[in-house]
Structure 1
Amino acid sequence: MNWTDERVELLKKLWSEGLSASQIAAQLGGVSRNAVIGKVHRLKLSGRGRTTATPARPKKPATPTAAAPKPVSSRPAPAPRPVAATLGATALQVQFDAEPARPALRATQDVVVPISRRLQLVQLSERTCKWPNGDPLSEDFNFCGNECADTGPYCRYHARLAFQPASERRRVR
């Protein structure tokens, strides 16, 4: 498809009227939406009319007005969200307003971390814990190897780590 002068002029006119790239492609015929977008960028057509007639919002006054006092809540304030800002030609940089809130950890009772038997893959059996320790690509990679229950591949300790109730996972987030 060639961009003739007439088609380019029609593209400019439709773009300034606020039509979408898909609508322009349909009216021109024989051209894709992406081809229209590419041509718009090559022609550097940035200013365009708005398709929706939403009234502009009035700007808020610079001076604060007297507001009713906020009710005191027993809930903690939500953690501040990161604010994305662009600086020149750099990528988006995230700036944090304050220290992120850390979830409160509940004290668990009777937590005993078992000493690993450090078994290799060929040493595992049906009755040994298959919890991996370390990096699989390193020489000292091994498995827990402690006795496991009939219900799964892990010992009691690692089973509690691997299979947490859904409510616990939601609470930690």
Structure 2
Amino acid sequence: MNWTDERVEKLKKLWAEGLSASQIAAQLGGVSRNAVIGKVHRLSLPGRAKAGGGSVASNRAAAPKRATSAPRAPNFASRVATKTVTRPVGATVLKEEIEVEAYEEMEFRPASNVVVPISRRLGLTELTERTCKWPVGDPLKDDFHFCGCEAREASPYCGYHAKLAYQPVHDRRRAVARA
């Protein structure tokens, strides 16, 4: 099938009217939907609004999606604001309003009832099977050391560092969701 000047003009007219590539192919006859799409791209025709108010896919894309229970960091408060955005969907540009959660920082007060053990600051050669092997600092620096406090039975860490190292699964997932 050759693209004659008359067929190209008819393609441009139908495209500007908002007909789909399948509808244009049917009206031109002897050409496939993909051939119409290819010609539209080669001609660099601008995007156009869809005829008939859009499809189910574009309506689904335009609907804002919100998580019912979005995890939030403990030191942030959120509020919901509406923002108008435009985005391309194929050859069509959609203008839609989306809900955006804006976060504002709240004052952070550390817990006052946490007791951090005083480290014995042991080197690698000073560790035993009964000392905490929690590394502290950068291993490439001179002040690197291990905790060295008394370790729990069958654990390489003291009570404090064991709580940091072995968190229940649901706490880990909650902490990861906040980050």
Instruction: Identify the TM-score tier after normalising by the shorter chain.
Output: 0.3 to 0.5
TM (normalized to structure 1)?
0.43
Structure richer in strand, relative to its length: 2
